[in-house]
Amino acid sequence: MSNMRTLVFYATPEHPCSYLNDRLATTMFVDPKADVDQSLYTRLSQLGFRRSGHHYYKPRCNGCNACIPVRIPVARFEPSRSQQRTWTKNKDLQVIKCEPRFRQDHFALYQRYINERHRDGDMFPPTLDQYESFLLESREDTQFVEFRHQSRLLGVAVTDTTQDGLSSIYTFFDPSESRRALGVFGILWQIEEAKCRQLPYLYLGYWIRNCNKMSYKTNYRPIEVLVRDNWVSI
């Protein structure tokens, strides 16, 4: 069984940053052969690591610390008026928890979401191999959470469970339903789910102040940021 003392880490060569123009990035990965149980996954999350498929990673860039890990202490979370309206607006949705396996309607929605919302990102164009390696290569504690309206699939939130919280891996949704703010609703639902399961945190990945796609995370207050290996509330 692997633990923090026996883990081996690897670093990628510098490559163009996916979030900030004219920046070079380096990513640190846990050895893919390591046996990452829930206890170790929890510790890695506490240290700012994220999961993508079977890989656990953390930015480690020369001269840049723009990617700041964030998490929501769910017991103290207070929704804004806008978030309260989003929650109310989506009360007509049916929420269904699923195992992480291939479903054609999930993949079709994922393709549409990437094609319409993230054509400028490194996940474009969306392919089946990319979808499977990113989301279907998962853990025993991974859930796909469907948001449906009258049986029509509107969104999917992919969520892991750690010993101290939920980790929001990815959410994709119908781009034509912008009035519902389904991305916001997905986070609010995960906050409520963590509360119901008496888990203290929702891990949201990285906050990047100067990247519009990543800066929204501090809209959820209070929020904690990882600074010099210490979680600090803002």
Say if CB 76 and CB 194 are below 8 A apart: no
Which pLDDT score, from 0 to 100, does residue 74 have?
98
Percent of the chain at pLDDT > 90 equals: 91
Same domain, 120 and 195: yes
Q: How many domains does the chain have?
A: 2
**How confident is the model over 77-108, as pLDDT tens digits?**
999 999 999 999 999 999 999 999 999 999 99
The domain boundary, picked from 41, 69, 97, lies at 69
Per-residue pLDDT band for 120 (boundaries 50, 70, 90) equals: confident
CA 109, chain centre distance (Å): 17
**Is omega for the bond preceding 73 within 30 degrees of 0, making it cis?**
no
Same domain, 87 and 160: yes
Mean pLDDT, range 74-78, rounded to an integer: 98
Which pLDDT score, from 0 to 100, does residue 122 have?
85
Same domain, 65 and 86: no
Rounded distance between C-alpha atoms, residue 31 and residue 98, angstroms = 29
Mean pLDDT, range 31-60, rounded to an integer: 97
Say if CB 52 and CB 208 are below 8 A apart: no
What sections of 23-133 are H helices per DSSP? 38-46, 81-89, 104-117, 128-131
* Integer angstrom CA distances of residue 212 from 9, 131, 215, 218: 30, 23, 5, 12
Rounded distance between C-alpha atoms, residue 157 and residue 146, angstroms = 7
Same domain, 15 and 126: no
Tokens 């990815």 label which residue? 170
The domain boundary, picked from 69, 95, 120, lies at 69
Same domain, 25 and 56: yes
In a domain, 2, yes or no: no
Q: Which domain holds residue 172?
A: 70-227
Per-residue pLDDT band for 223 (boundaries 50, 70, 90) equals: very high
10 Å CB burial of residue 220 (0-12, 13-18, 19+) is buried
Is this prediction's pTM over 0.85? yes
Res. 42: pLDDT tops 90: yes
Per-residue pLDDT band for 47 (boundaries 50, 70, 90) equals: very high
Higher pLDDT, 213 or 196: 196
In a domain, 21, yes or no: yes
In a domain, 15, yes or no: yes
Same domain, 97 and 176: yes
Same domain, 101 and 150: yes
The domain boundary, picked from 69, 104, 119, lies at 69
**How confident is the model over 135-187, as pLDDT tens digits?**
999 999 999 999 999 999 999 999 999 999 999 999 999 999 999 999 999 99
Per-residue pLDDT band for 1 (boundaries 50, 70, 90) equals: low
* Integer angstrom CA distances of residue 136 from 51, 74, 77, 104, 113: 12, 27, 30, 13, 17
Rounded distance between C-alpha atoms, residue 186 and residue 99, angstroms = 17
In a domain, 192, yes or no: yes
